[in-house]
Structure 1
Amino acid sequence: MSDQPLLKVRNLSKFYGNRIGCSNVSFDLWPGEVLAIVGESGSGKTTLLNCLSTRLMPTTGSVDYHMRDGQYRELYHMGEAERRFLMRTDWGFVHQNPADGLRMTVSAGANVGERLMAVGDRHYGRIRQTASEWLERVEISTDRIDDQPRDFSGGMRQRLQIARNLVTGPRLVFMDEPTGGLDVSVQARLLDLVRGLVNDLGLSAIVVTHDLAVARLLSHRMMVMKDGHVIEHGLTDRVLDDPREPYTQLLVSSILQV
């Protein structure tokens, strides 16, 4: 593991007029680490994720990313083309609704293959072979390679979206409620799959979820947000087993009562 953080976030804030999206957030993310950002709806966790992934420009603050050449670059000082290239190659973004992260009218194989073409692969046979291997890896039968995602179940679409994101070997993956809207049994399989892939590939990930069970299963560290502020931050097991803030205690106890 590198002795340098992959991501350095300092005093990040996003305001919508007088309304706080997120306020004064600072943390480091290390290579191979999974950070969960948890909180109720409206807590600011999705705004924070969108700022970190440059989908939203923050009002103030900075995010420095450790590039493959060993240099840190401030994300918001990059040009649009540079950021887009980063998002196609070194990063992944898994949407809650897989239709937002897939092209629904092209084949499953083409969805995975497009990312490979974005990093310069032009050999059709090799692209198809790699796409086939990744479908297998995310538990989609390879005989579905020419089927379109609109013919897939919700769980299969989410697994396809994960394959599309991971095929280029990214170092950082953002996940926005990755199990939202899926049946409990489908969620469990998907979480097992994600946890295995993150470990195997040594990925760093930032996972936004309102589900503390998802946070416990996937993350090493956890930030709890309320009204746009991070109110508690620590190792996941410590936060869940010994929450210090009354709000976190309430979140944990409400899960236990379900």
Structure 2
Amino acid sequence: MAAHDGPLLSVRDLTKRYGQRIGCDDISFDVWPGEVLAIVGESGSGKTTLLNCISTRLPATSGTVTYQMRDGQPRNLFEMEEAERRHLLRTDWGFVHQNPADGLRMTVSAGANVGERLMAVGNRHYGQIRETATDWLSRVEIMAERIDDQPRAFSGGMRQRLQIARNLVTAPRLVFMDEPTGGLDVSVQARLLDLLRGLVADLGLAVIIVTHDLAVARLLSDRIMVMKDGHVIETGLTDRVLDDPQAPYTQLLVSSILQV
């Protein structure tokens, strides 16, 4: 892998409009290799729209998103061919959905869900694929004997852990996460967050995580970006923003959590 001095991802003047309605407006930021950026805000703040534009799942109205490819060359994602973007999503990127059913094939086995990603990067040896899949299931705390079970036989927490294994098995450099703990019981959330924190640190992943939960942002992220009505209200190191928020909206968000 080539060494890079610059950011892994650069977003400049990104705007998404739905007619007259603003999804996100004039947003710029960088994400560096190994950095975890949390995008936080209440429902409707534009954070998921922004995530979907950055990951090319949604076309932007204007702006650029530049990604540093493995060969060291920066590429404007919006100028890439669709096939190139799909290849990135299957190999160098991961995308962890809030609902794991959106990120898994529910009618094939757990092992096949992980193995598909390996095949996308050129693995063809069945035994090696199964061995790697088994190893990754154990890393996300799924017993090896469940490798041939379909995800629909799994609990919500197990499905989410399987989705994480499917995304991380190809050693991506950038992972997008959309409310990865949403809809899970508190105890399951805690275990999943602990698992995620360990994997992100071990693998040196760059992560952009969207969450409305400031506790999730504090636990996982290095830097935080607060959004409201499609605009970035405040950004900075996570502990600084949460411990000493400057913008009135951020102060309100933080105080509302403290009062719960």
TM-score, normalized by length of structure 2? Answer: 0.99
CA distance in 2, matches of 1:139, 1:38: 28
Task: Report the Cα distance in structure 2 between the residues aligned to 1:211 and 1:8, rounded to whole angstroms.
Answer: 25
Quote the Cα distance in structure 2 between the aligned partners of 1:5 and 1:59: 23
1:75-98, Cα deviation, whole Å (9 max, x unpaired): 000000000000000000000000
Residue 12 of structure 2 corresponds to 10
- Aligned partner of 1:147 in structure 2 is 149
Secondary structure at the counterpart of residue 216 of structure 2: helix
The structure 2 residue matched to 1:127, chosen from 110, 113, 129, is: 129
For 1:55, the equivalent position in structure 2 comes to 57
Which stretches in structure 2 are left out of the alignment for 5+ residues?
none
Instruction: Find the aligned partners of 1:172 and 1:81 in 2 and give their Cα distance.
Output: 18
Partner of 2:208: 206
1:191 matched to 2:197? The reply is: no
Q: Letter of the 2:29 partner, please give it.
A: F
Following superposition, the deviation at residue 3 of structure 1 comes to: 2.4
Aligned to 1:55, the other structure's residue is in SS state coil
Map of 1:85 onto structure 2: 87
Partner of 2:111: 109
* RMSD between superposed Cα atoms in Å: 0.7
Q: Give identity over the alignment, percent.
A: 82
Name the SS of the counterpart of 1:43 in structure 2. coil
The CA distance in 2 between the partners of 1:254 and 1:75, in whole Å, is 38
Aligned pairs, number: 258
Aligned to 1:70: 72
Q: What is the CA–CA distance in structure 2 between the aligned matches of 1:25 and 1:193, rounded to whole Å?
A: 31
AA at the equivalent of 1:148? Q
The residue matched to 2:117 in structure 1 has which SS?
A: helix
How far, CA to CA, are the matches of 1:3 and 1:57 in structure 2? 28
- Tell me which residue corresponds to 2:40: 38
- Residue aligning to 1:223: 225
Residue identity matched to 1:14? K
Could you tell me whether the CA contact under 8 Å between 2:4 and 2:72 is conserved in 1?
A: no
Shift of the alpha carbon at 1:2?
4.2
Ranges of 4+ aligned residues in structure 1 off by more than 6 Å: none
Q: 1:120 aligns to what SS in structure 2?
A: coil
Q: Is the 2:67–2:77 Cα contact (8 Å) retained in structure 1?
A: yes
